């Protein structure tokens, strides 16, 4: 039987916030005679990309993926540790899984990812139902750890590597729409933002071989994919020195993020390229000019601000100030035009934040007028510089109120900006049916805005010019235009 790439993955993103959790389940992989694996992913896009590496490693060890957690032989939770509520969700899920495990004692449960790395073997003491604990750099070791666990021994590997990029592992695309895919271009983070646990859970920053990245993107394009998103915690510090495989010393080359973007964009004008995350301190004009040069590099930049006040930015150790951030935004708009989409991350209620300093975050939102934002209240993470140096002294109700004020402004600005798009034509890559109706297709504009339009004779994978007729703060609606009509707008 054809060994089709099909799998299951329940996706809970760190940006989805507690209230709205995205769940995507697709068909099962043919599993006759094989053991079954259920993977559930939490956290950022990098974690979803990692789950695809894990599925590949485990497929080679004889496991087929399933969407049925209750009857799986092996259950992996690929976890996030960024805020306390991300970890609490995992603990609640483990309790549910324990009910299945009591019915089927042979079931093995593994905790992978950032929470596994943060808590290490302690997790085995705290959560007795867990058999395997594996950090983000140890996924090649999973088959051995599973084998050990099958003999009743608990398995832990939380070794963090300085080299591992999984460059040679061909990911099994989980829950894929067949149109958009994630590609990790680097791992880890060398910044020391004082609030952030990522440097401790993901280790040192390292860049993946660019030729393996281009090869993966080319293969995706050959399979019919139309969009790739290049992922790193700080893509602007991507740096690789070497020569292509089999190349001699004369072919030695240095590749930065601008060059990598260009290499991927040159695969085909029909392959859209996105990337995330840009760091305000590192994003260069060279990158912006590369985006400008290629129509297929999306005019959309996620540029986390975190705060609008210089004293708070300094104790967050973001290494830029408000003026620098605003200058970067100005450069984006100068080079790429006003229509380039810009989104942000913002934290409310960081240690010692005063009411006036909070007002500076609000004024930053009013000044920049971002298209979109991911907004959080500060959650102290054990072991981080902020946890060691400062007291988490803003009461929960004040954090919540400040967060609500940030969200309110962002929603209003998003709605206003979207409204301005009424009457414009957006080039949309159709990704599939809209959630509500099989008569509508859903896709994203260049600026990463969700656009819904009547299906007519279009199908997923098509680039469609859509005349925008209605908007909310979250989505745009419109009608597809034919070629001759586009020129009228």
Site membership for ligand SF4, residue 116 (CB under 6 A): no
Residues of span 273-292 touching ligand SF4 by CB under 6 A: 279
Cα–Cα distance list, 351 to 318, 374, 405, 432 (Å): 15, 19, 18, 43
Answer with the entry of ligand SF4, ligand SAH, ligand F3S, none that 372 interacts with (C-beta below 5 to 8 A by kind).
none
Count of residues that interact with ligand SF4, criterion CB under 6 A: 9
Distance CA 50, CA 139 (A): 9
User: Given the complex with ligand SF4, which of 110 and 203 has the nearer CB atom?
Assistant: 203
Site membership for ligand SF4, residue 136 (CB under 6 A): no
User: Given the complex with ligand F3S, which of 201 and 237 has the nearer CB atom?
Assistant: 201
Site membership for ligand SAH, residue 376 (CB under 6 A): yes
**Which of the ranges 91-99, 144-152, 193-201, 239-247 carries the binding residues for ligand SF4, by CB under 6 A?**
193-201
> Closest separation between CB of residue 305 and ligand SAH, Å?
9
Answer with the entry of ligand SF4, ligand SAH, ligand F3S, none that 176 interacts with (C-beta below 5 to 8 A by kind).
none
Q: How many helices (H) and strands (E) does the chain have?
A: 15, 22
**Which of the ranges 154-162, 173-181, 375-383, 418-426 carries the binding residues for ligand SAH, by CB under 6 A?**
375-383
Q: Which two tokens stand for residue 64?
A: 């087929």
Distance CA 464, CA 466 (A): 6
Site membership for ligand F3S, residue 116 (CB under 6 A): no
Residues of span 184-223 touching ligand SAH by CB under 6 A: 195-196, 198
Count of residues that interact with ligand SAH, criterion CB under 6 A: 17
Distance CA 212, CA 263 (A): 11
The answer to whether 66 and 55 have CB atoms below 8 angstroms apart is no
User: Given the complex with ligand SF4, which of 236 and 371 has the nearer CB atom?
Assistant: 236
The answer to whether 341 and 300 have CB atoms below 8 angstroms apart is yes
**Which of the ranges 83-91, 194-202, 370-378, 456-464 carries the binding residues for ligand SF4, by CB under 6 A?**
194-202
Q: Torsion angle of alpha carbons 6, 7, 12, 13, nearest 10°?
A: -50
Please tell me what DSSP assigns to residue 297: B
**Which of the ranges 197-205, 244-252, 259-267, 437-445 carries the binding residues for ligand F3S, by CB under 6 A?**
197-205
Site membership for ligand F3S, residue 340 (CB under 6 A): no
E strands present in 14-86: 35-43, 63-65, 74-79
**Which of the ranges 109-117, 192-200, 251-259, 460-468 carries the binding residues for ligand SF4, by CB under 6 A?**
192-200
Q: Distance from first CA to last CA of the chain, Å, rounded?
A: 50
Site membership for ligand F3S, residue 81 (CB under 6 A): yes
Distance CA 455, CA 338 (A): 30
Cα–Cα distance list, 200 to 117, 221, 382, 406, 487 (Å): 8, 35, 10, 29, 52
Binding ligand F3S by CB under 6 A: which of 44, 119, 362, 467?
44
> Closest separation between CB of residue 275 and ligand F3S, Å?
16
> Closest separation between CB of residue 233 and ligand SF4, Å?
4
Distance CA 65, CA 62 (A): 10
**Binding map of ligand SAH across residues 73-102, x = CB under 6 A, - = no contact:** ---------xx-------------------
Count of residues that interact with ligand F3S, criterion CB under 6 A: 14
Site membership for ligand SAH, residue 322 (CB under 6 A): no
What is the per-residue DSSP string for 306-360? B-S-HHHHHHTT-S--HHHHHHHHHHHHHHH-TTSEEEEEEEES-TT--HHHHHH
Cα–Cα distance list, 213 to 167, 170, 207, 210, 252 (Å): 8, 11, 10, 5, 17
> Closest separation between CB of residue 282 and ligand F3S, Å?
18
Site residues for ligand F3S per CB under 6 A: 14, 43-44, 46-47, 80-82, 113-114, 197-198, 201-202
Site residues for ligand SAH per CB under 6 A: 82-83, 195-196, 198, 233-234, 277, 279, 304, 306, 345, 347, 376, 378-379, 381
């Amino acid at each position: 039987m054809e060994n089709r790439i099909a799998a299951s993955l329940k996706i809970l993103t760190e940006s989805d916030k507690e209230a709205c959790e995205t769940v995507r389940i697709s068909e099962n992989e043919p599993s006759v005679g094989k053991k079954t694996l259920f993977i559930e992913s939490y956290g950022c896009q990098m974690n979803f990309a990692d789950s695809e590496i894990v599925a590949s490693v485990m497929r080679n060890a004889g496991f087929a993926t399933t969407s049925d957690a209750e009857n799986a032989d092996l259950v992996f939770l690929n976890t996030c540790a960024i805020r306390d509520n991300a970890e609490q969700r995992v603990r609640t899920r483990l309790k549910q899984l324990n009910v299945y495990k009591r019915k089927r004692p042979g079931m093995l449960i593994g905790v992978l990812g950032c929470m596994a790395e943060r808590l290490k073997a302690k997790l085995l003491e705290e959560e007795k139902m867990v058999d395997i604990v594996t950090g983000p750099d140890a996924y090649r070791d999973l088959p051995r750890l599973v084998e050990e666990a099958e003999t009743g021994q608990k398995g832990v590997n939380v070794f963090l590597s300085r080299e591992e990029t999984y460059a040679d592992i061909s990911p099994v695309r989980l829950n894929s729409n067949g149109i958009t895919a994630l590609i990790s271009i680097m791992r880890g983070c060398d910044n020391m933002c004082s609030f952030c646990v990522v440097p401790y859970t993901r280790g040192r920053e390292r860049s993946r071989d660019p030729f393996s990245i281009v090869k993966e993107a080319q293969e995706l394009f050959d399979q019919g994919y139309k969009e790739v998103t290049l992922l790193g915690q700080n893509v602007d510090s991507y740096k690789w020195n070497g020569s292509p495989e089999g190349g001699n010393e004369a072919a030695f080359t240095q590749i930065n993020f601008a060059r990598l973007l260009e290499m991927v964009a040159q695969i085909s004008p029909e392959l859209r390229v996105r990337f995330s995350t840009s760091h305000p301190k590192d994003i260069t004009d060279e990158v912006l000019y590369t985006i400008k040069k290629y129509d297929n590099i999306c005019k959309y930049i996620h540029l986390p601000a975190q705060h609008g006040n210089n004293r708070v930015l300094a104790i967050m150790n973001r290494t830029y100030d408000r003026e620098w951030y605003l200058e970067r935004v100005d450069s984006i708009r100068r080079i790429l035009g006003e229509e380039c989409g810009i989104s942000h991350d913002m934290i409310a209620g960081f240690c010692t934040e005063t009411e006036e300093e909070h007002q500076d975050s609000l004024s930053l939102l009013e000044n920049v007028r971002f298209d979109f934002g991911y907004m959080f209240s500060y959650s102290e993470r054990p072991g981080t510089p902020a946890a060691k140096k400062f007291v988490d002294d803003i009461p929960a109700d004040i954090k919540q109120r400040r967060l609500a004020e940030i969200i309110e402004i962002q929603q209003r600005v998003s709605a206003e900006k979207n409204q301005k798009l009424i009457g414009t034509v957006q080039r949309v890559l159709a990704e599939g049916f809209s959630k509500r109706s099989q008569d509508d297709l859903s896709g994203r504009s260049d600026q990463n805005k969700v656009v819904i339009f009547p299906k007519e004779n279009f199908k997923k994978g098509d680039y469609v010019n859509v005349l925008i007729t209605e908007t909310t703060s979250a989505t745009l609606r419109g009608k597809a235009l034919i070629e001759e009509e586009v020129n009228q707008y």
